[in-house]
Amino acid sequence: MLAELSPALIAEVHDAAKLLASKQRICLLTGAGISAESGIPTFRDKQTGLWENHRAEDLATPEAFACDPALVWSWYQWRRQLVADKKPNPAHKALAYWQHHAKANHQQLTLITQNVDDLHEQAGSTVVHLHGNLARNRCSQCQTPYTSASNHSKDSEALDNSDVDRQDAETLITCSHCGGYIRPDIVWFGESLPVQAWQTAEEAAADCEVFISIGTSSLVYPAAGLAQLAKRNGAKVIEINPNPTPNTTVDMIIKEKAGIIMPVLVKQITGS
The catalytic site residues sit at 131
Report in angstroms how near the CB of residue 53 gets to ligand APR at its nearest: 18
Pick out residues in 50-79 that bind ligand APR (CB under 6 A).
56, 60
Candidate residues 5, 206, 220, 252; the one interacting with ligand APR per rule CB under 6 A: 220
Q: Is the peptide bond before 244 cis (omega within 30 degrees of 0)?
A: no
Binding to ligand APR in span 1-40, by CB under 6 A: 31-33, 36-37
Q: Is 250 in the site for ligand APR (CB under 6 A)?
A: no
- Positions 124 through 143 that interact with ligand APR (CB under 6 A): 131
Closest contact distance (angstroms) between CB of 179 and ligand APR is 28
Q: Are 262 and 13 in contact (CB under 8 A)?
A: no
Q: How far is CA 73 from CA 6, 41, 134, in A?
A: 44, 18, 12
The answer to whether 248 contacts ligand APR (rule: CB under 6 A) is: no
CA atoms of 179 and 35, how far apart (whole Å) = 35
Q: Mention every residue, 6+ apart, whose C-beta is less than 8 A from residue 59.
A: 71, 72, 75
Which residue in 238, 268, 261, 213 sits closest to 6, CA to CA?
A: 261
Half-sphere CA count of 174, side-chain side, radius 13 A: 5
Among 95, 258, 264, 265, binds ligand APR (CB under 6 A): 258
Residue 93 contacts ligand APR per CB under 6 A: no
Stretch that binds ligand APR, among 14-22, 102-110, 191-199, 211-219 (CB under 6 A): 211-219
The DSSP H or E segment spanning 41 is none
CB of 114 to ligand APR, least distance (A): 3
Point out the residue whose Cβ comes nearest to ligand APR: 33
90-104 helix and 258-270 helix, angle to the nearest 10 degrees: 20
Query: Taking a C-beta distance cutoff of 8 angstroms, is the pair 191, 62 a contact?
Result: yes
Indicate whether 215 belongs to the interface with ligand APR (CB under 6 A): yes
Q: Taking CB under 6 A as the rule, does residue 253 contact ligand APR?
A: no
Task: State the residues that interact with ligand APR by CB under 6 A.
Answer: 31-33, 36-37, 42-44, 56, 60, 114, 131, 215-217, 219-220, 240-243, 245, 257-259
